[in-house]
Structure 1
Amino acid sequence: MNTEFASLLHRSGCLPLYRAEQVREMDRRAIEERGIPGCELMSRAGAALFAVLRECWPEARRVGVLCGAGNNGGDGWVVARLAQAAGLEVTVVSLLEPERLQGEAARAARDAVGAGVRWQPFTGGLPEADVRVDALLGTGLARPVAGPWAEAIGLLNVSGRPVIAVDVPSGVDADTGAIRGAAVRAEVTVSFIGRKFGLYTGAGSECGGERRFDDLGVPSEVSAGLVPHGWLAVPGLVTRWLPRRHRNAHKGDFGHVLVVGGQPGMAGAARLASAAALRTGAGLVSLATHPVHAAIAAAERPELMARGVADAEALAPLLARAGVIALGPGLGQGDWGRPLFEAGLDSGLPLVVDADGLNLLAGAPRRCDRWVLTPHPGEAARLLDRPVAEVQADRHAAVRDLAVRYGGVAVLKGAGTLVSDGETVAVVGRGNPGMGSGGMGDLLTGVIAALRAQGLTATEAALLGAWVHAEAGDRAAAEGGERGLLASDLLPWLRRLVNP
C-alpha cells in the first residue's frame, strides 16, 4: 500500500478500483501466468453477463446485441450464442463484419454464427428487442466516439429499452468516468476481473446504472504489485470506525464542535451544519453566528449552544472551548465573515472548511494539514484555478491536486464523491440526484466535524462522513422520492446510520 490511508482502506475491507491498463495487465497475467485460456475468460464473461440479464429481465424474449471490435465485442457474441441456446430470439448488430474480427473475438463470432445466431451490419437502425446488450466499445477507448459508433450509442439511449453494458458503458472513460463524445446510459453494467474506477464517479456513475462485478474465477494474486487507482468505501466502515459507546461515557467524551457561520440573511446553512453535528453524535455543539440570528437558532434547537458574535474578539472564548471547527456555512466573504475565518484558521484546531470558507481560501491560498476541505466542483475549480469542465473531466486528478496544493484532506463532492489525502483516493458509491438541493453540503460539513470530534482521524472522518451523508440521502429518497428532497429530511437517517 502506498500510504497510511491506503493501508487503512485495505484493512477496513474497502474494494480496490483500477485503471483500464491495470485490468488489462491482470487479464494478461491470468492468461500467461495462470494458464487460463483467453477464450475461456471470454466465455466466462459472456456467461456472467447473460446470467445477470436473465436475472434482471426474466420475461425478456427478444435480445438485441450490439457488437464492436475487440474483446468487448467478443463478449457480446458469446452472450448472443448463449441467448440463442436458451431459446430466445436474438439479433446481433455488428459495427464490424465478423470476418474482420481477430483473435478470441473472431472465434466467438464464428461460434455464434455457427450456432444459428442472426446478425446484420449497422445501417442506422436497431431491430426490435426487449433488452439490449452494449458490447460496442470496451476499456480501450482512445479518442472521442464519433461517426457510426456515436450514432449507434444515440439509438441505444433513445430506444426506450433497457440496456446492459459489457464491462463499461461504451463511450465512458474507464479511468475517469468522463464521457468521451457520447456514451451509453445503461441500466446495468457487469464489470470483469477488476473494478474500473470510472464506473464509480462523475458521469460514469450515472451511465453505469446498477454496477455488478464478476472476477471470472481469476485468482486475486494477478493484482499483486498493482497499486489501486482508488478504493470504494463499504458499509462496514461504520461498525469498524464507530464502535459501541461505553456505558459510563459522558458528553465530554464525544467532542465539542463549533460551527462558525451565518451572516445576516444566511442563517440556515450554519443551523443545518449544527443540527447535523448533533445528530451525528458530537457531545456538544456550539454555533457562532451573527447576533441577529442567535436567539432564533437557540429557540429552534435548544440542544445547540448558539452565541451571537459581532467580531473575531467575541469569537475567541468559543474557540478556547471547542475541539473542532466547522468553518464557512453562510459565513459570507465580507467584513463580518473574513475576520472570523482568519481567527478560525489561527486557532490551531482541526477544521472542516466549506462554502464561503472555501471561497475565502481561493482568494488567499495557503496550506494547512489540520483541515478537511469539502468543495463542490465549482468551488474546486476556483481553488485550483481551472475550468469546472476540467475538474469534472478528471475528478481523480482534481481531488488529489486539491489535497497536494492545500494540505490536509480534500472531499470533492458530486456524483461519486471522492476523498483524498493527496496520494490515495477513495470513492463514495452512494448518493442520488435528489441531493442536488440547498443545504446538503452544510449537512456534510456538520457530519464530518462531528466524526472528527469523536476521535476519528481527518481521513476517517472525511470518508465515513461522506458515506453516511450520501447513504442518508439514499434512504430519505427511497422513503419519499428524489424530487423535493430537503437537507433536513436526512437528519433522522444520520442518527440511524451512525447507530448500526
Structure 2
Amino acid sequence: MPHTKDELPDALYSAAQVRGLDASLIAAGTPGFELMQRAARATWRALVRQWPAANELSVLAGHGNNAGDGYLVAVLARRAGWSVRVLAVADPQRLQGDAARAYAEAVAEQVVIEAWDAQSCLRGIVLDALLGTGLSGEVREPYASAIAAINCSDLPVVAVDIPSGLCADTGRILGCAVRADLTVTFIGLKLGLFTGDAADQVGALVFNDLQADPQLLGRAPVSARRLGTGNLPRLAPRAPASHKGKFGHVLLIGGDRGFGGAILLSAQSALRSGAGMVSVATRSEHVPAALARIPEAMVLGTSSANQLMGILEKVSVLVVGPGLGRDAWGRSLLSAAANAPLPQVWDADALNLLSEAHVSLPKGCIITPHPGEAARLLGMSTAEVQADRPAAARALSKKYTAVVVLKGAGSLIASPDGRLALCHQGHPAMATAGLGDVLAGLVGALLAQGMDAYDAACLGVWLHANAGAQEGKSGRGLAASDLIPAIRQLLEEQAPCLK
C-alpha cells in the first residue's frame, strides 16, 4: 500500500540496511524481478495520481536496478497509450540480471530507446532512473550533465527510489542532485530522504513496501526513528487535585545587555508549555520588561553568580544560554549552572562557551545546537557537519554524554545510548530569530513535568516543528512568539491535561 508523507512508517534505514532487506525478501522466496515489477507499478500509479492529465514520458535510465525500474515504468506507460521515450545514459547492453531483463521487456514492447546526449530533448513527465541508493562518491559524467538537463528542463520530475545524486544515508548532495517534484521510494525509508539537503530535492514523497513481510521488517536493524503522532512520548494526564509543585520549577538563565528578548521568549515558552513555576535570572535592566511581559514568572535581577546560589536549591530544571552572551557575566552564571546537579537544557551562547572549553557539561543534559554551534563543539566546519548530520549528532552525544538536538531541516535527536530520532516537519517561514529560544523553554518545561531527557527532546522538537508548520501557512513574517500558543494547542491535542 502506498503511503503519503504524513502517514509514513517510523523506521528509517541506511542504504546498506535496505539492500539487506531486499536480499532477505529474495531469500524468503520473492524473485528479484517481481520486486522490480512491483516498484515499477508503484511508481507508475503514483505518477498517474500526481499528473492525471499527462500522456508523455521521458525516462533517463542509468545502470543497475534503478534503471531496470525505469525501463519497466516505460513499458507500463507504453501499454497505457502514452508517448514514451527512454534516454539511456548508460549503455543498456551492459545491464545485468533483473535490469537486463527489464530492458528486454522494454525492447519487446517497442519502447523507443535512444542514447542520451547533451542535445537530447526532454518532454512530458521526466522519470529519474539514473543512480539510485548505491551512490557513495561524487556524481561523475555523463550523469552530472544528465542531472543538470533534468533540473533545467522546467518539467515535472519523478525520482525512482531517491533523487539521483542525493546520499541515501546522510541527505547530502553528492556534487549535484536531481530536484524532484515526486519521489517514490521502496521497501524501507532511507534516512537521507529526510535530513540535510533532502527537503530541497525530494518533493512529495510516496512510500511502498513492495508487500514486504512485516515480520521481516520488524526484525531488521534501523538507523533512526521518524517522529510521528503514533510514536511520540506523552505526558501523563493530570490528577484533579494537582498543584503547581508537582510540575517542576524551571529557572532560565540568560539575557545579557542587548539580548533580553531571548530569555523572555524562552521563559514564556516554558510557562505556556506546562511548567509549574518559572523563574528568570537575567540582567537587572531587564526585570521591568520581564515582569510586564510575563507577570507569572519570578524574575531575579542578577549581577553575579553568587546571587544564583539560593535559587538553585529551589528549582528542578535549568535552561541556560538564551541571550547569555560570552562576556564575564555570562561565563560566571554558566559556571554556577554547570555545578548544579539538575536536569538542564543548554542552548545558544551556553554552547559557544562550552566549545571554548571554559565549562563542563552536567550529566543528564540536553544540548540544542544549530549546525554552526555543532561545528564549533566538534572542532570542524559547518559544511562537514551538514555533510553527515546523523554522524555529527551521534558524535556530539558521545562526546558530551548528553542528549543532542541537532537543529535544521530534518532535526535529529541523539541519545548517548545510541538511539536516533528524526523530525522532518517544519516550514521555511521558521527561518527567523528566536525560534531556538522557544524550543529551549519548551524542552525545559517538559523536563520539569517529569519526562526523561530523550523523550523531552523528541516531544519538544516535534511540537516546535509542527507549530511552525501550522503557523507558517500564513507565509513570511512568522515571529518566534507566534509558535507559543500553537505549541500549547498541539500539546493538549497530543497529551490532554485531563483524561
TM-score range, shorter chain: over 0.9
Q: 1:131: how far off?
A: 2.2
Instruction: Give the secondary-structure state (helix, strand or coil) at the position aligned to 1:202.
Output: coil
Q: Which one of the candidate residues 118, 121, 125 is aligned to 1:127?
A: 121
Instruction: Give the secondary-structure state (helix, strand or coil) at the position aligned to 1:336.
Output: helix
Instruction: Give the secondary-structure state (helix, strand or coil) at the position aligned to 2:134.
Output: coil
Q: Which one of the candidate residues 20, 23, 27 is aligned to 2:15?
A: 20
Does the CA contact (< 8 Å) of 2:425 and 2:466 recur in 1? Answer: yes
Q: Which one of the candidate residues 130, 133, 136 is aligned to 1:139?
A: 133
1:35 counterpart = 2:29: yes
Amino acid of the structure 2 residue aligned with 1:187: D
1:314 counterpart = 2:318: no
Amino acid of the structure 2 residue aligned with 1:31: I
Question: Aligned equivalents of 1:280 and 1:151: distance in 2?
Answer: 50
The equivalent of 1:454 in structure 2 is 449
Cα deviations by residue, 1:310-366 (Å, 9 ceiling, x for unpaired) = 111222232222111110000011121111101111111110000010011111163
Q: Which one of the candidate residues 258, 265, 268 is aligned to 1:272?
A: 265
Does the CA contact (< 8 Å) of 2:354 and 2:361 recur in 1? Answer: no
The equivalent of 2:53 in structure 1 is 59
1:434 counterpart = 2:460: no
Question: Aligned equivalents of 1:204 and 1:463: distance in 2?
Answer: 21
Q: 1:418: how far off?
A: 0.5
Does the CA contact (< 8 Å) of 1:430 and 1:467 recur in 2? Answer: yes
The equivalent of 1:286 in structure 2 is 279
1:345 counterpart = 2:338: yes
Does the CA contact (< 8 Å) of 1:189 and 1:211 recur in 2? Answer: yes
The equivalent of 1:8 in structure 2 is none
The equivalent of 1:159 in structure 2 is 153
Does the CA contact (< 8 Å) of 2:341 and 2:362 recur in 1? Answer: no
Amino acid of the structure 2 residue aligned with 1:171: G
Instruction: Give the secondary-structure state (helix, strand or coil) at the position aligned to 1:124.
Output: coil
The equivalent of 1:174 in structure 2 is 168
Question: Aligned equivalents of 1:439 and 1:14: distance in 2?
Answer: 32
Q: 1:88: how far off?
A: 1.9
Q: Which one of the candidate residues 83, 89, 96 is aligned to 1:89?
A: 83
Question: Aligned equivalents of 1:209 and 1:254: distance in 2?
Answer: 41
Does the CA contact (< 8 Å) of 2:124 and 2:156 recur in 1? Answer: yes
Instruction: Give the secondary-structure state (helix, strand or coil) at the position aligned to 2:207.
Output: strand
Cα deviations by residue, 1:65-112 (Å, 9 ceiling, x for unpaired) = 111100001111111111121222222111023222111111112212
Instruction: Give the secondary-structure state (helix, strand or coil) at the position aligned to 1:146.
Output: coil
Question: Aligned equivalents of 2:346 and 2:439: distance in 1?
Answer: 11
Question: Aligned equivalents of 2:48 and 2:320: distance in 1?
Answer: 51
| Gap runs ≥5 in structure 1 | 1-12
Question: Aligned equivalents of 1:94 and 1:251: distance in 2?
Answer: 68
Question: Aligned equivalents of 2:297 and 2:155: distance in 1?
Answer: 51
Q: 1:496: how far off?
A: 0.9
1:484 counterpart = 2:484: no
1:419 counterpart = 2:418: no
Question: Aligned equivalents of 1:155 and 1:272: distance in 2?
Answer: 46
1:104 counterpart = 2:102: no
Q: Which one of the candidate residues 369, 377, 402 is aligned to 2:371?
A: 377
Does the CA contact (< 8 Å) of 1:372 and 1:411 recur in 2? Answer: yes
Instruction: Give the secondary-structure state (helix, strand or coil) at the position aligned to 1:499.
Output: helix
Question: Aligned equivalents of 2:236 and 2:51: distance in 1?
Answer: 41
Amino acid of the structure 2 residue aligned with 1:278: L
The equivalent of 2:325 in structure 1 is 332
Amino acid of the structure 1 residue aligned with 2:49: E
Q: Which moved more, 1:83-92 or 1:190-199?
A: 83-92
Q: Which one of the candidate residues 142, 145, 157 is aligned to 1:148?
A: 142
Amino acid of the structure 2 residue aligned with 1:395: R
Q: 1:208: how far off?
A: 1.5
Q: 1:306: how far off?
A: 2.2
Amino acid of the structure 1 residue aligned with 2:470: R
Q: Which moved more, 1:457-466 or 1:124-133?
A: 124-133
Q: 1:237: how far off?
A: 4.1
Residues 369 and 211 (structure 1 numbering): CA distance in 2 closer, same or farther, change over 3 Å? farther
Q: TM-score normalised to the size of structure 2?
A: 0.94
Question: Aligned equivalents of 1:418 and 1:351: distance in 2?
Answer: 19
Question: Aligned equivalents of 1:248 and 1:314: distance in 2?
Answer: 34
Percent identity (aligned): 46
Does the CA contact (< 8 Å) of 1:98 and 1:110 recur in 2? Answer: no
Question: Aligned equivalents of 2:247 and 2:120: distance in 1?
Answer: 60
Question: Aligned equivalents of 2:419 and 2:255: distance in 1?
Answer: 34
Q: TM-score normalised to the size of structure 1?
A: 0.94
Question: Aligned equivalents of 2:467 and 2:428: distance in 1?
Answer: 13
Residues 310 and 367 (structure 1 numbering): CA distance in 2 closer, same or farther, change over 3 Å? closer
Question: Aligned equivalents of 1:251 and 1:87: distance in 2?
Answer: 68
Question: Aligned equivalents of 1:121 and 1:247: distance in 2?
Answer: 73
Question: Aligned equivalents of 1:271 and 1:210: distance in 2?
Answer: 37
Amino acid of the structure 1 residue aligned with 2:142: P
Question: Aligned equivalents of 1:146 and 1:273: distance in 2?
Answer: 47
Question: Aligned equivalents of 2:422 and 2:58: distance in 1?
Answer: 33
| Gap runs ≥5 in structure 2 | 1-7, 494-499
Q: 1:126: how far off?
A: 4.6
Does the CA contact (< 8 Å) of 2:61 and 2:70 recur in 1? Answer: yes
CA RMSD of aligned residues (A): 1.6
